[in-house]
Amino acid sequence: MPNSKVKKRILILIAEAGFGHRSAANAVAAALQETHGDKCEAQVINPMQDDRMPSLLRSSESDYDRVVREMPDLYKLGYEASDALVPSAIVESALTVMMFEVMRDVVKRYEPDAIVTTYPLYQYPLRAVFSIQRRYVPLITVVTDLATVHRLWFHEAADWCLVPTTTVRDLAIEYGLAPDKVQITGIPVYPNLVQETRSPAQVRSELGWRPDLTTVLAVGSKRVEHLSDVLRALNHSGLPLQLAVVAGGDEELYRQFQETQWHAPAHVFNFVDNMPTLMRAADAIICKAGGLIVTESLACGLPLLLVDVLPGQEEGNADVVVRGGAGELAAGPIDALETICHWLEHGGALLAQRSQNARKLGRPRAAFDVAERAWQAAQRGPYTRPRRRWLRRSRLVALLRRFDIPWTT
């Protein structure tokens, strides 16, 4: 009989391909700490940091920003081409060979009772590890895009695939997952993002900002190409606005914002660790259509003015926002300026409607829903499957031997 006093170990796997994977993982870890902290130990790790990972995979993390910024059409082509059945099968075999040793040792080192992954590629080598060892650890996949989702997210190795929207659930089933494995939770956002009880004006006062002005939060990074042009238009518009501008750790962009002669009240930051507070102080947000920032904004009821959309998955995120009436997609600085003007006229009636629609789309308790499923999975713990499920084991062993990959522990 297992010792009920021993803490359950929940391992949360991430990669640094954008902020969303880590942020969702940290949100789940925080929710687990808040709800089951005395009974479980949640650890967030990035297996890509292991030196044994091929440079192709490790460099893909550091190259992500450059590729999507400088070669968006190439990125989109690769994204769409690999979303077909045959290329995906080839990718699965390649990932198994390249990542097997690292993932095998991750499972051995941490001995998790359950695994949560916010990055799709780990499912493939984990399935191989489980098959070889004839021991499955409950695996939960958390999808971090709202609509346009790659086939690689959906793998039978996952006990649960937790998705943000009905659109993604339908895709998961279309790609072969059993309906009872796919559940809609939303994308996890940090608990304190949705636990704020102060009004925006109160938060602004405590930040030392003007509480009486409509406040627009603008969030940039190396991947937000058009933010500067939009802010230049707003800065010279004469509209009764207050701007909070975040450069997202882009030193060049931060320097540019610092050197700007602001005609509207402006508060400039480089990289912030209090984004929930800034979001709660704002009445609207200008940003790209990333899954993380869109999800956080919807959870806060913030209308979105989207100024950049990454070809591929972010097109779906933008579509969710626009179709849901929670914001607009600006074609350029003049379009953005017109949108803000329309939001503000008639006493801000349209802005209030956009905010209401955002709240309807948002799932502020997603982190707690995911955490509860992870906790349930950890109660079950590692398990074996019927022998008929191990028929693929011989093929996996042959694949690993072919490439001289040690497959025994």
pLDDT tens-digit map of 167-209: 999 999 999 999 999 999 999 998 888 777 889 999 999 999 9
- Say if residue 340 is in the same domain as residue 205: yes
Contact status, residue 143 vs residue 166, Cβ threshold 8 Å? no
Residue 171 sits in a domain whose CATH number is 3.40.50.2000
Residue 409 lies in a domain: no
Calpha distance 230→332 (Å, rounded): 7
Residue 407 lies in a domain: no
Check residue 183 and give its pLDDT. Answer: 96
Check residue 358 and give its pLDDT. Answer: 96
Residue 87 lies in a domain: yes
- Say if residue 119 is in the same domain as residue 216: no
- Say if residue 295 is in the same domain as residue 374: no
- Positions in the chain whose pLDDT score sits under 70: 1-5, 18-19, 56-90, 313, 386-399, 401, 403-404, 407-409
Calpha distance 96→400 (Å, rounded): 8
- Say if residue 167 is in the same domain as residue 205: no
How many structural domains is the chain composed of?
A: 2
- Say if residue 48 is in the same domain as residue 108: yes
C-alpha dihedral sign at 312, 315, 320, 326: positive
- Say if residue 295 is in the same domain as residue 388: no
Q: What's the token pair of residue 27? A: 């949100």
Contact status, residue 164 vs residue 143, Cβ threshold 8 Å? yes
- Starting at the edge strand found earlier in the chain, the sheet holding 139-142 runs 40-45, 8-13, 114-117, 139-142, 160-163, 182-184
- Say if residue 308 is in the same domain as residue 204: yes
Check residue 375 and give its pLDDT. Answer: 97
Torsion angle defined by CA atoms of residues 130, 102, 85 and 142, in that order, rounded to the nearest 10 degrees = 80
Contact status, residue 42 vs residue 83, Cβ threshold 8 Å? no
- Look at phi and psi of residue 196 and say left if phi exceeds 0, alpha if psi is from -120 to 50, else beta: beta
Residue 1 lies in a domain: no
Check residue 209 and give its pLDDT. Answer: 97
Calpha distance 30→393 (Å, rounded): 37
Task: Give 58-112 pLDDT, tens digit per residue.
Answer: 655 444 444 445 445 434 434 444 444 444 566 777 888 888 999 999 999 999 9
Residue 137 lies in a domain: yes
For 46, half-sphere exposure in the C-beta direction (CA atoms, 13 angstrom radius) is 14
- Say if residue 354 is in the same domain as residue 373: no
Check residue 194 and give its pLDDT. Answer: 76
Residue 166: domain span: 8-190+365-402
Check residue 258 and give its pLDDT. Answer: 94
Residue 118 lies in a domain: yes
- Say if residue 96 is in the same domain as residue 14: yes
pTM of the model: 0.81
